[in-house]
Structure 1
Amino acid sequence: MDNRALSHGLWDITAAELKSFESIKGEKKTDVAIIGGGYTGLSAALHLAEKGADALLLEAKHIGFGGAGRNVGLVNAGLWLMPSEVVDKLGSDVGEELIKVLGASPDLVFHLIEKHNIKCEAVRTGTLHCAHSKGGYRALEQREAQWQERGAPVTLLDREKAAPLLGSNAYHGALLDKRAGTVQPLAYAYGLAKAASDAGAHIYTDSPVVSINRDRSGWKLKTPDGTVHAKAVILAVQGYADHAFKNMEDNLIPFNYFQFATPPLPEDIRKTVLPGKQGAWDTNLVLSSYRLDLAGRLILGSVGQVDSWGYTLHKNWAERTLERVFPQIGKVPLEHGWYGRIAMTPNHIPRFHILGPDFVSVTSYNGRGIGPGSVFGKLLAAYIKNPSSVNIPLPVSEPAKVFMRDMRGLYYEAGARIYHMAQRRTGLF
């Protein structure tokens, strides 16, 4: 069951209504079949259609059902890893190219928003990566140095300079990244879907792919009520893979992230909380994130899922945290609580798979879906048309099961619940 109150929360309420797409029925032929209606799939469909290719997208549920509709909405540059860590894992050539491509990913996102007039509460005033401790501040010093070596407009602010931008004295400082910004994530996905459809892509929802096979004529994708014959396939499913691709879940670590939102803050208070409208998150191992929406709601997130008794536990933590970090807002109710799954890999690097002739996938953005999804969708669209002319800045790898994935997922969830139960009560930050 898709309980949107817990899965998409505030985003489902505030996103403008998207035109209804039908489920696929009967036989269809296409140049490129795209599986998945999130950022990667929608970006691929849009860029293929704009180049005149016949593109057909199949979404098992509805547009933005997976991570695209549950995202925090931070349009960040790069990955969670520091640039040096990316180079250590991938080597200098591939690593530096990936850093360059994803460092510029907000440019593509905000270009698409402007070009297609996407109404998604887009704000590009940067983001603030906040130091929760002296050690966190030292880590941000490294990030600043490594990004500045690559020409990025990032600046580390000490506590005194960061406090006015945050509206809080709770942090030791913050790294301001002017490349970044925020969006209403589900509304951005809706906008990509409309733009792709307007450009000529065929989009079908409630159309899960239950089997996929290849013969001499190409790929055959079966849904409950239809069949698609495609020359090429782009697989764009990640944390919510299902049906014919259910086993792809074995390749990811189960990792959840929740959010709670206040009512719109009074105008005088709103001016004192993230007054520059930057999104923020911290260096804590069990991290917290903060942002405002267009109406002035303060949205707080952290690791974990808000179902059954976990809802109350994490909500209590959120209330205590808001009082601690933003005492000027006083006691406010939390009107919305929801959570989603992050496609997490053991080394925090996305995966590039060639799953067969003319069948490709880039997956697993480790919590950075908006920029990477938009960029890799565009790159896959070009790659599937002419592989020799496009560089995907990732090594080709085979899908591989994560060792003890269920236990690792339980470790993250249990750890987050224990931490949130203790945090603030014991003075931990």
Structure 2
Amino acid sequence: MTFEPNLWRTTAREAFAAAPLDADLTVDLAILGGGFTGCSAALEAAREGASVCLLEAETIGYGGSGRNVGLVNAGLWLPPDAVKAQMGAKAGGQLLSVLAEAPSRVFDLIAREGIDCEATRNGTLHLAHSAKGCRDLQGRHHQGISLGAPLQLLDAVETGRRTGSNAFHGALFDPRAGTIQPLAYVRGLARSAARAGAQIFEHSAVQSVRRESNLWSVTANHKRVRAKRLLIATNAYHSGLSTFYTPRFVAVHYCQFATGPLSDAARETILPNREGCWDTALVMSSVRMDQAGRLIMGGIGNGDGVGARVHANWARRKIAALFPALRDVPLKHGWSGRIAMTSDHIPKIVAFGPDAYACYGYSGRGIGPGTVFGTDTARALLAGSDHQLPLAPVCDHSETATTLRGQWFEAGACMTHGLAARI
């Protein structure tokens, strides 16, 4: 079963390339990781006049940022009351307030920097896959409305009209949100950061991080970067990197499969307004359309692992179940990425040393929170104050049995996909 590679790499209209680190440097801020968080931080710091060095082991957007579904959502995966229960009313309310504005910050940044990333702000649909899912959405609607969010509950008929599928019991529409081409977005961030003066280096895997003489010393390609401040922004792609601090999370895989461009007739009825969608199922799936009219189906699971065939066959059956007219439309592209999941599904900012943060654990919400956290941690590091951070930093964060739990997620996805949507 062979697919063409990651659709986003085929269709990204933003290009970016940088040379490897080949000389010693001294900078105000060193950033490890070239995804949404790292590139947003590099752009903000450079715009504030700081000298910046960003080191990426592969290429910009190689990790989760270039494998993302592309949904620009407000808030977190958890409903608001659960966020406040986990964090406390005040801290949870502050984070929810900041992330309510995340889509605006992303789309405003895209407009300001002229990033060509298929930005479409037509909202998103959280789809009820069952009657219980519909009740869950009613709770989310009530909680969101109480916080001032302009959410709309849709019945099954309206949901069917907006999706082109009769498989859903209803939906929660969020007009604040939208979709982007995620790889093009992160490349555009890197391009803008470089234009603002940031030094960005690809193919520059970090060998070590040490604290020396009140500075951070980062070694990559046998060259040394000395920095007053340090940001680790590797998220789910930190593995294999030996640093002063190692983020702890559960790596959860997510795979996606895309058709070729659909016919004009199909595009008039299937997601005609181009909302991005995900459902309420425990083993979540997503569906969206890109600008050229390709249908993209995603779900929990490793499309590059031992269950690859199971996940691909599920995607074919799922598309046929949702959209019978597409039963014979072949899948052309397939790709996978990793999500950094925390036990409480709350992102983390860890202050692991003097003038140093690690940001990670977006639990599947990388675009909005990643952009916000990257921008705000850059500001905080340069100001020497954590008051403007979206949440209070912690000195450490631990997770137990991370490998076992990641395997459990994959086993559950394989079992669910092996049995689901058989028609």
Aligned amino acid, residue 336 of structure 1: H
Task: Deviation per CA, 1:194-217: give whole Å up to 9, x if none.
Answer: 010111111111111111111224
Shift in Å at residue 308 of structure 1? Answer: 5.0
For 2:243 and 2:360, how far apart are their aligned partners in 1? Answer: 13
Show the counterpart of 2:241. 243
Shift in Å at residue 309 of structure 1? Answer: 4.5
1:393 lines up with 2:390 in the alignment: yes
Shift in Å at residue 82 of structure 1? Answer: 0.4
* Aligned counterparts, 1:7-86, within 5 A: 9-16=6-13, 18-86=15-83
Task: Deviation per CA, 1:175-200: give whole Å up to 9, x if none.
Answer: 00001000001010000000101111
Show the counterpart of 2:303. 306
For 2:314 and 2:214, how far apart are their aligned partners in 1? Answer: 56
Task: Deviation per CA, 1:240-290: give whole Å up to 9, x if none.
Answer: 0032249736x1112100000001000111111100000001000011100
For 1:385 and 1:10, how far apart are their aligned partners in 2? Answer: 37
Aligned amino acid, residue 243 of structure 1: L
For 1:103 and 1:403, how far apart are their aligned partners in 2? Answer: 31
1:223 lines up with 2:220 in the alignment: yes
Task: Deviation per CA, 1:69-120: give whole Å up to 9, x if none.
Answer: 1100000110000000010011111100000111110001001111111011
SS at match of 1:255: strand
Residues 349, 173 of structure 1: CA spacing in aligned structure 2 closer, same or farther, 3 A cutoff?
same
Show the counterpart of 1:288. 285
For 1:329 and 1:307, how far apart are their aligned partners in 2? Answer: 25
- Say how many residue pairs are matched: 420
Shift in Å at residue 227 of structure 1? Answer: 0.7
SS at match of 2:303: coil
Paired residue for 1:175, among 172, 181, 194? 172
Whether the 8 Å CA contact 2:386–2:392 is kept in 1: the answer is no
For 2:356 and 2:304, how far apart are their aligned partners in 1? Answer: 36
Runs of 5+ in structure 1 lacking a partner? none
Aligned amino acid, residue 319 of structure 2: L
SS at match of 1:336: strand
Whether the 8 Å CA contact 2:205–2:220 is kept in 1: the answer is yes
Whether the 8 Å CA contact 1:252–1:343 is kept in 2: the answer is yes
Deviates more, 1:261-270 or 1:385-394: 385-394
Whether the 8 Å CA contact 2:373–2:390 is kept in 1: the answer is no
Paired residue for 1:364, among 358, 361, 366? 361
Residues 15, 91 of structure 1: CA spacing in aligned structure 2 closer, same or farther, 3 A cutoff?
same
Whether the 8 Å CA contact 2:151–2:172 is kept in 1: the answer is yes
TM-score by length of 1: 0.95
Runs of 5+ in structure 2 lacking a partner? none
What is the Cα-based RMSD across aligned positions, in Å? 1.6
For 2:335 and 2:278, how far apart are their aligned partners in 1? Answer: 18
Whether the 8 Å CA contact 1:127–1:178 is kept in 2: the answer is yes
Residues 308, 393 of structure 1: CA spacing in aligned structure 2 closer, same or farther, 3 A cutoff?
closer
Shift in Å at residue 355 of structure 1? Answer: 1.1
Whether the 8 Å CA contact 2:252–2:406 is kept in 1: the answer is yes
* Aligned counterparts, 1:226-375, within 5 A: 226-241=223-238, 242-245=240-243, 248=246, 251-375=248-372
Whether the 8 Å CA contact 1:25–1:227 is kept in 2: the answer is no
Show the counterpart of 2:106. 109
Paired residue for 1:203, among 177, 200, 205? 200
Whether the 8 Å CA contact 1:237–1:363 is kept in 2: the answer is yes
Show the counterpart of 1:154. 151
For 1:364 and 1:308, how far apart are their aligned partners in 2? Answer: 22
Whether the 8 Å CA contact 1:47–1:378 is kept in 2: the answer is yes
Whether the 8 Å CA contact 1:34–1:57 is kept in 2: the answer is yes
Residues 17, 389 of structure 1: CA spacing in aligned structure 2 closer, same or farther, 3 A cutoff?
closer
Whether the 8 Å CA contact 1:382–1:390 is kept in 2: the answer is no
SS at match of 1:94: helix
1:92 lines up with 2:89 in the alignment: yes
Show the counterpart of 2:407. 410
* Aligned counterparts, 1:114-193, within 5 A: 114-193=111-190
For 1:419 and 1:389, how far apart are their aligned partners in 2? Answer: 43
For 1:245 and 1:271, how far apart are their aligned partners in 2? Answer: 51
Shift in Å at residue 389 of structure 1? Answer: 6.5
Task: Deviation per CA, 1:300-336: give whole Å up to 9, x if none.
Answer: 0001011255222111111111111011223110001
Task: Deviation per CA, 1:324-381: give whole Å up to 9, x if none.
Answer: 1011223110001111100000110011111111111221100000000100111011
For 1:289 and 1:353, how far apart are their aligned partners in 2? Answer: 30
Whether the 8 Å CA contact 1:31–1:54 is kept in 2: the answer is yes
Whether the 8 Å CA contact 1:350–1:365 is kept in 2: the answer is yes
TM-score by length of 2: 0.96
Aligned amino acid, residue 116 of structure 1: E
Runs (4+) off by over 6 Å: none
Residues 61, 246 of structure 1: CA spacing in aligned structure 2 closer, same or farther, 3 A cutoff?
farther
SS at match of 2:242: helix
For 2:231 and 2:346, how far apart are their aligned partners in 1? Answer: 19
For 1:230 and 1:247, how far apart are their aligned partners in 2? Answer: 16
For 1:309 and 1:369, how far apart are their aligned partners in 2? Answer: 26
